[in-house]
C-alpha cells in the first residue's frame, strides 16, 4: 500500500507546504499498545479497589500532556486525499501540489487546540480504515461515515459535517442512466471507492450491475470522464466539487443513506483523545472556524488556478 507521511506546515494556508518524509507506521505502533493501560493509570491509582467507578475528567480540560498518542507530542492523522473539498491536492503558490481541504484544516485546528504537532499520513481510503484498525494512527479524517460496521475497529467522534450521497454520470449519458432500474443491468459499469459506504450503496441499489471498485475517487472521476465507466456512487458534495472543474459530470439523483454525516475515526479505546477531539470539534463549529474551512476548501477546489483532480505529483488524472 502506498503511504506517505507529510508534515503539515505551520500556516493554515497550507499552499506553500509539502514536506514528504519517509516513515512507516511500524515505528509508531508500539506506542499505541501502551495507550490503554496508561490512560487508566491515574484513575486506578486514585480509586484503588473501586476500579471502574471513577469516570475520567472533563473533556475540554484535557491537556496535551495527558493525551496518549501513537507518537508523543504528535497528532498522527490518516487521510485519503482524493476527495475534494474534504481532502485533495491543490497547486500552491510555489507551483507544487499541497494537501488541502476542510478535513486538513480541521486536523490542524484540532492539533493546535490540543497542543500537538500535526502529522498527516496519506493512503487510499481503505488504508485509512486499516491504519485505524492497526492503531498506527491516532485519527482518520477522510469524510468518514459513522458506519456501525466500522465500530469494531475505531471509535467515532461527533459529526462535524453533513453531506449526502449521489449517483453520478456524464451529461451525454444523463438521459440513459436516469433511474436505479436503468443502472441495475449487467452491461452498466458502476463505480465505487474500495472500502467505502458507496460500495455498500452500489451493491444494495445496483446488485445486477457490473460493479467496479477503485481505490481512489479521483480514479472514478477520471473513468467517468473518459467514458470507461458509466455511473458511480459518490458523496454529493464531492461530485459537486469535481463538477465545478469538469462540468461534463452530471448528478443523476440523490441516494438515500441512513448514516449521513462525517465523523473523525479515533483509534479505538482512546477515551481521552476521543473526548478532546469532540471538544475541539464543538469549538470549531461554534467559533466559525469550520464554516471558514469549508468555504476556503470549496473555493480552492474549484478555481481555475487550483485543480481538484491532481495527484501528489501534480499530475492531472484524466
Cα–Cα distance measured from residue 92 to residue 272, given in angstroms and rounded to the nearest whole number:
35
- Residue 308 in contact with ligand ARG, rule: CB under 6 A: no
Query: Are 189 and 168 contacting, i.e. CB atoms less than 8 angstroms apart?
Result: no
What is the smallest separation between the CB atom of 187 and ligand ARG, expressed in angstroms?
26
Which of 105, 202, 217, 294 is in the footprint of ligand ARG by CB under 6 A?
217
Cα–Cα distance measured from residue 77 to residue 72, given in angstroms and rounded to the nearest whole number:
13
What is the smallest separation between the CB atom of 199 and ligand ARG, expressed in angstroms?
8
Give whichever of 84 and 118 is closer to ligand ARG, judged by the CB atom: 84
Cα–Cα distance measured from residue 234 to residue 199, given in angstroms and rounded to the nearest whole number:
10
Q: Given the rule CB under 6 A, which of 59-67, 141-149, 176-184, 283-291 is the region that contacts ligand ARG?
A: 141-149
**Non-local CB neighbours of 273 within 8 Å, separated by 6+ positions:** 67, 68, 69, 138, 139, 266, 267
**Non-local CB neighbours of 160 within 8 Å, separated by 6+ positions:** 106, 262, 263, 264, 281, 284, 285, 290
- Residue 143 in contact with ligand ARG, rule: CB under 6 A: yes
What is the smallest separation between the CB atom of 55 and ligand ARG, expressed in angstroms?
30
Cα–Cα distance measured from residue 210 to residue 94, given in angstroms and rounded to the nearest whole number:
42
Which cell goes with 121? 499520513
Q: Given the rule CB under 6 A, which of 68-76, 79-87, 104-112, 308-316 is the region that contacts ligand ARG?
A: 79-87
- For residue 299, report the phi and psi dihedrals to the nearest 5 degrees: -70, -45
Instruction: Residue 97: count other Cβ atoms within 10 Å of its Cβ.
Output: 20
What is the smallest separation between the CB atom of 127 and ligand ARG, expressed in angstroms?
10
Which of 17, 109, 125, 156 is in the footprint of ligand ARG by CB under 6 A?
125
| Nearest Cα residue to 166 out of 265, 242, 103 | 242
Give whichever of 67 and 277 is closer to ligand ARG, judged by the CB atom: 277
Give whichever of 86 and 177 is closer to ligand ARG, judged by the CB atom: 86
What is the smallest separation between the CB atom of 98 and ligand ARG, expressed in angstroms?
16
- Residue 241 in contact with ligand ARG, rule: CB under 6 A: no
- Residue 113 in contact with ligand ARG, rule: CB under 6 A: no
Of residues 80-99, those binding ligand ARG (CB under 6 A): 80, 82-83, 86-87
Number of residues located near ligand ARG, criterion CB under 6 A: 15
CA separation, residue 70 to residues 3, 160, 305 (Å): 17, 23, 37
- Residue 242 in contact with ligand ARG, rule: CB under 6 A: no
Give whichever of 125 and 293 is closer to ligand ARG, judged by the CB atom: 125
Q: Given the rule CB under 6 A, which of 51-59, 60-68, 192-200, 305-313 is the region that contacts ligand ARG?
A: 192-200
Cα–Cα distance measured from residue 135 to residue 16, given in angstroms and rounded to the nearest whole number:
30
- Residue 235 in contact with ligand ARG, rule: CB under 6 A: yes
> Quick one: 135 exposed, middle or buried, by C-beta within 10 A (0-12, 13-18, 19+)?
buried
- Residue 197 in contact with ligand ARG, rule: CB under 6 A: yes
Give whichever of 144 and 276 is closer to ligand ARG, judged by the CB atom: 144
Which of 144, 183, 252, 284 is in the footprint of ligand ARG by CB under 6 A?
144
- Residue 196 in contact with ligand ARG, rule: CB under 6 A: yes
- Residue 142 in contact with ligand ARG, rule: CB under 6 A: yes
Interacting residues toward ligand ARG by CB under 6 A: 80, 82-83, 86-87, 125, 142-145, 193, 196-197, 217, 235
Amino acid at each position: 500500500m502506498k503511504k506517505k507521511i507529510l508534515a503539515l506546515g505551520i500556516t493554515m494556508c497550507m499552499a506553500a507546504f509539502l514536506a514528504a518524509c519517509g516513515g512507516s507506521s511500524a515505528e509508531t505502533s508500539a506506542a499505541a499498545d501502551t495507550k490503554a493501560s496508561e490512560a487508566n493509570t491515574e484513575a486506578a491509582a486514585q480509586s484503588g479497589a473501586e476500579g471502574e467507578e471513577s469516570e475520567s475528567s472533563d473533556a475540554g480540560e484535557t491537556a496535551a500532556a495527558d493525551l496518549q498518542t501513537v507518537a508523543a507530542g504528535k497528532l498522527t492523522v490518516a487521510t485519503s486525499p482524493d476527495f475534494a473539498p474534504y481532502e485533495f491536492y491543490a497547486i500552491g503558490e510555489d507551483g507544487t501540489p499541497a494537501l488541502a481541504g476542510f478535513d486538513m484544516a480541521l486536523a490542524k485546528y484540532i492539533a493546535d487546540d490540543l497542543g500537538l504537532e500535526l502529522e498527516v499520513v496519506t493512503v487510499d481510503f481503505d488504508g485509512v480504515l486499516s491504519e485505524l484498525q492497526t492503531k498506527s494512527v491516532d485519527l482518520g479524517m477522510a469524510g468518514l461515515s459513522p458506519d456501525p460496521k466500522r465500530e469494531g475497529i475505531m471509535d467515532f467522534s461527533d459529526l462535524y459535517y453533513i453531506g449526502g450521497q449521489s449517483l453520478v454520470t456524464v451529461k451525454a449519458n444523463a438521459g440513459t442512466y436516469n433511474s436505479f432500474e436503468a443502472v441495475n443491468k449487467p452491461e452498466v459499469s458502476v463505480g465505487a471507492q474500495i472500502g467505502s459506504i458507496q460500495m455498500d450503496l452500489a451493491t444494495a441499489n445496483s446488485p445486477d450491475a457490473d460493479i467496479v471498485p477503485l481505490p481512489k475517487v479521483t480514479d472514478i472521476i477520471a473513468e467517468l470522464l473518459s467514458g470507461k465507466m458509466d455511473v458511480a456512487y459518490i458523496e454529493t458534495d464531492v461530485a459537486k466539487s469535481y463538477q465545478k472543474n469538469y462540468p461534463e459530470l452530471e448528478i443523476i439523483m440523490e441516494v438515500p443513506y441512513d448514516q449521513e454525516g462525517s465523523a473523525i475515526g479515533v483509534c479505538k479505546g482512546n477515551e481521552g483523545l476521543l473526548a478532546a477531539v469532540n471538544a475541539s470539534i464543538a469549538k470549531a463549529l461554534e467559533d466559525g472556524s469550520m464554516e471558514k474551512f469549508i468555504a476556503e476548501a470549496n473555493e480552492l477546489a474549484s478555481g481555475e488556478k487550483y485543480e481538484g483532480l491532481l495527484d501528489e505529483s501534480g499530475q492531472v488524472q484524466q
